[in-house]
Amino acid sequence: MQRPDSLYSVDKAGQYRVWAPTADGFALQKVLQKPPAAPASVLLSETLRWFLGTEDARARLWDLSALPGARPLSLRRSGSWYAASASFHPRGDWLAVPRMGDGRVDFWPLRKTYPAVVDGCSAVRRALAFTPDGRWLATLCGPAVAKAIHLWPLPGSGHDAIRKLEFPQEVPLLNLAIERQGRYVFGAGWNRAAIAPLDGTSQRTFPLSESTLHYGAAVSPSGRRVATAYGFGSGDRTLRVWDVETGAVKTFPLPVSPRTAAGGQLPAGVVDNVVDAYFEDESTLYTAGEGGLRRWNLEDGTSTLVAATPGRQMRMATAPGAREAVTGLPTTGSSSSASCASIELRDLSSGAARPLPTFGDCVGGFAISVNGEIVAAGGLDGIVRVGGPSGEPHLLVGHSGMVTNVAISPDKRWVASAGEDNTLRLWPMPDLSKPPLHTLPREELIAKLHSLTNLRAVRDVSSPTGWKIEVGPFPGWKDVPTW
């Protein structure tokens, strides 16, 4: 099998070897592994990006530039795939498949980057975070309580394999934060916190009080400090801040809430747990949890309540250098642990907040971009909404059930999400300069759909559904559309 500038071979194990010509013959250029779920015979595109497997009833397309282990794209058409003769465009822009018997050809556009879907992302807290250089996505996807950090290579990163940061001791993690220069990941969880350098050098663990869950995880701008705090359990209700170089720790007691005070009510707004944390600078830390948003002075251990939410648990999402945060409060019942939230954009200094109703009234995970221009929120309906704080967001549809975690890459090229359907998804950032498809006026929407395909749904009384798909004439394109 040949390409214009090279050739490739395949062995019984499904490894494709690409050979480049040299003065002395050929040199091995690349090795590609056929996906385990692919049929015995597959077609490899000349760009080395796609594997195509055709079977009697379906065809599947594996994107080798997507997240490792991602689901293939399913190609649907009304004709049979039996003995299909497929062909990739040399530049990889198109896949063409003739139909047997009717002389028609089906085309699929391959130029764009499609969302990647990976199954098996199951964990109590499906924490997500991008590395500052935009090359990796760190997750805690795995067993119910994650004991390793997985680094997924992003498209264009130059890497094609997952890296796994495992710890010498079992460190069940529930949340993570990446140091802003990309040197290490800090994780917090059950009884312990840990630092895992991204270069693979030895990890460090920090013991915490027994029988205690820690959800909040934060790294200071310089990377010299890390912090976590009591989230749930019978251990010490403290905020802990470590000096990364020396290991020295500062411990500050968390305020006591009315739920745990002996007799009577205490002033509204005090907190007794933390679910999210963020360093503004080396000595200023924000925490969100039971009772509201609190600002800490780490030099003297004092704290100020910025926004009070008595009896309700506030969640918070921030980005490095941000002066604003997206915060969420439970909207289902009165439980502070409710996963369904309404979100708002909140000024960290004053505590003033602006509601974000267009992102839904039952939000699970949410995030804000580095410069605060983009908000992403995943809902109970399985939709990830992405857009500016004002206006109508774009809709990323695919999850089933609540979307529990979302993240925006520092370069704003990607949105990552994970949810109750146990999938990890990587979405290309929508073009936020254009209006979302669902907001277009009807005639403009119909014209847009007509420009993308010549398939039409038409009435058919003889069909069980009352409809059939009809192939209309193909007039050609003056400008090739972008899907």
> What was the pLDDT predicted at 144?
54
Backbone angles phi, psi at 467, to 5 degrees: -135, 160
Output the six-digit token pair for 419. Answer: 């949810």
SS (H, E, C) 387-403: ECCCCCCEEEECCCCCE
Segments of the chain with pLDDT less than 50: 1-2, 263-269, 334-338
**Whose CA is closest to 419, among 402, 432, 431?**
402
Report whether 413 contacts 134 (CB < 8 A).
yes
Output the six-digit token pair for 440. Answer: 């277009």
Output the six-digit token pair for 147. Answer: 């004991």
The per-residue pLDDT for range 353-366, each reduced to its tens digit, is 999 999 999 999 99
C-alpha span between 71 and 260 (Å, rounded) = 48
Distance of CA 26 to the CA centre of its chain: 41
> What was the pLDDT predicted at 452?
78
> What was the pLDDT predicted at 409?
96
> What was the pLDDT predicted at 481?
63
C-alpha span between 191 and 207 (Å, rounded) = 6
Report whether 286 contacts 320 (CB < 8 A).
no
Residue 103: CB atoms within 10 Å: 7
> What was the pLDDT predicted at 266?
47
> What was the pLDDT predicted at 420?
93
C-alpha span between 361 and 260 (Å, rounded) = 30
Q: What are the structural domains, with CATH classification, of the chain?
A: 34-109 (2.20.25), 116-428 (2.130.10.10), 442-483 (no CATH)
> What was the pLDDT predicted at 336?
36
For 39-183, list the strands marked E by DSSP.
43-44, 50-54, 59-63, 73-75, 87-88, 94-98, 105-109, 116-119, 128-130, 136-139, 148-153, 163-166, 173-178
**Whose CA is closest to 271, among 250, 284, 287, 251?**
287
